[in-house]
Every structure is written in structure tokens, then in C-alpha cells.
Amino acid sequence: MKKIKEGIRTCASTSAGPCKITNVFSIDSGEYWCEHQDVKRSNAVNITVTAGSVILEGPVLPVMEGEAVNLSCRNKMASSNLTADFFKDGVHIRTSFTGELTIHSVSKSDEGLYKCNISGAGESPESWMTVRHETQRINTRQDSHPSHDCSPHGFIVLRIFGTILLFALGLAMVLLHCKKERDFNLFDTFLPCLRFSVNRSQTAESPV
């Protein structure tokens, strides 16, 4: 999927192959993402296509709070770094003599539209930077990799249940076998040896 100025359009599908744009134009600039059955959605990627010579290089994926972010203002017609002015949401925030802007620890307030300007060369298109909280990264990992591991407590319960089940099955088999071999009642089935021992003792004590 892609979101451009004209609205949301489908770029490609799994049956048609990946989203591949052979010859890009400025109209292809926008926000791109993929979806699975309209339920799961990937992180959005902002792609800017410009016909001018000045471009702003920065992260295309969302950045996490506390991370360092580097923005570079480049002139495609010049190899050396030039002095650049950086803007956020249309407001000038800094002038860099190296063409670099580093935000050492980004926060949610740093989220917005960025652009740069090189004197005599022109201005870059605006590029959106998304900043996420740490909790959002944790939730994303849990959604992408659901855990199927059982807790230690669950393993203990399963082992106890399995042991009891095996014991019950074994006991049932013994009882069925004894019922077939001997016509004892339930008490005799559990204590055949004890009954035999008592009978022998009584026989030994009887006078000849």
C-alpha cells in the first residue's frame, strides 16, 4: 500500500510480486507500508522523490525515543559538504556548516516534517520523521513474534497431570488383568499376597 497526495493506492500484492517502481517521479513520493488481510500492518516508510539537486537524507523507518538521529543535507551536483539550514515544520532550527544535523537523544517532540536549504542550490522536499515510545517497540515485537512458550508453572501442572493419568491407566490395566485371571473381589485384587500369607500362617498352626 502507498499513501500519496491523491489518496491511498495499492502498490502491489503477494500474487503480483513486490512493489517495484522502475522509473520514479516526484508523484511517487509518499508513505509506503504492507498489510496482511487488513489486520496486521508493517511500519510505514516515507519515500521522497525530488527533481531538484538538494536532498535530505534521514531515517525512513520510525526511530525510538532516546536514539541518536543524523540528518544530512546533500547537493547532488557537489561532492563536498556545504553549509545548510535545517527546518522542522517550517521553522528554522539550526544552521550547519557541515551539512549535518545530529539529534543525540530524540523525543516525541522531535517528530515532524524536516527539510533543508543550501544557499544557491535550493531547498529539499519535506521528509516526515516518526518517533515512537519504548512501549510501542515492545508491543510491536510481541505482535510480530507471539510467544508460545509455557510458563514454569504451566509445565509443572502438565507434568503432574500426565503422571496421574499414566498411573490411572496403569492401575486400570492391572485391575482388568486380575479380573480375568482370578475371581477376587476388589479388596482381594489389591492384596492377594497378604491373603495368601495369612492362609499359610493358619495352616501351620493347625494340629496334625
pLDDT digits (tens, 9 = 90+) for 58-113: 888 889 999 999 999 999 887 777 899 999 999 999 999 999 999 999 999 999 99
pLDDT, residue 117, reads: 95
Domain end (from 100, 128, 148): 148
Beta bridge partners of 143: none
Last residue of one domain, picked from the residues 110, 129, 148: 148
Nearest C-alpha neighbor of 43 from the set 112, 131, 111, 107: 131
- pLDDT score at 150: 47
Asked if 74 and 157 sit in the same domain, the reply is: no
Domain co-membership, 143 together with 87: yes
Above 90 in pLDDT, residue 202? no
My answer on whether 14 and 80 are in the same domain is no
Q: Are residues 60 and 26 in the same domain?
A: no
pLDDT band at 156 (very low <50, low <70, confident <90, very high): confident
Q: How much is the average pLDDT of 119-148?
A: 70
Q: Are 19 and 13 in contact (CB under 8 A)?
A: no
Asked if 128 and 59 sit in the same domain, the reply is yes
CATH number of the domain encompassing residue 106 = 2.60.40.10
**Cα–Cα distance for residue pair 104/33, rounded to 1 Å:** 27
Q: Answer yes or no: do 167 and 133 share one domain.
A: no
| Residues 129 and 161 both lie in one domain | no
**Which residues neighbour 151 within 8 Å (Cβ) at sequence distance 6 or greater?**
none
- Mean of all residue pLDDT scores within the chain: 75
What three-state secondary structure class fits 42?
coil
The percent of residues in the chain predicted with pLDDT above 70, rounded, is 65
Gap between the Cα atoms of 77 and 28, Å rounded: 22
CB under 8 A, 24+ apart: contacts of 107-115:
107/65, 107/131, 108/65, 108/133, 110/69, 112/88, 113/88, 113/89, 114/56, 114/58, 114/71, 114/86, 114/87, 114/88, 115/56, 115/86, 115/87
Do 144 and 57 belong together in one domain? yes
Q: Which of 112, 131, 148 is the last residue of a domain?
A: 148
User: Are 122 and 144 in the same domain?
Assistant: yes
> How far, in Å, CA of 82 to CA of 115, rounded?
15
Predicted local confidence at residue 176, as pLDDT: 77
> Considering only CA atoms, which of 32, 48, 26, 44 is closest in space to residue 114?
48
Whole-prediction pTM value?
A: 0.52
Residue from 58, 66, 151 nearest 113 by CA: 58
Q: How many domains does the chain have?
A: 3
* 22: phi then psi, degrees, rounded to nearest 5: -70, -55
Residues 58 and 135 reside in one and the same domain: yes
Mean pLDDT over 130-134 rounds to 84
Name the helix (H) or strand (E) containing 128: strand 127-129
Q: Which domain holds residue 117?
A: 53-148
100 and 174 in a single domain? The answer is no
Tell whether 107 and 86 lie within a shared domain: yes
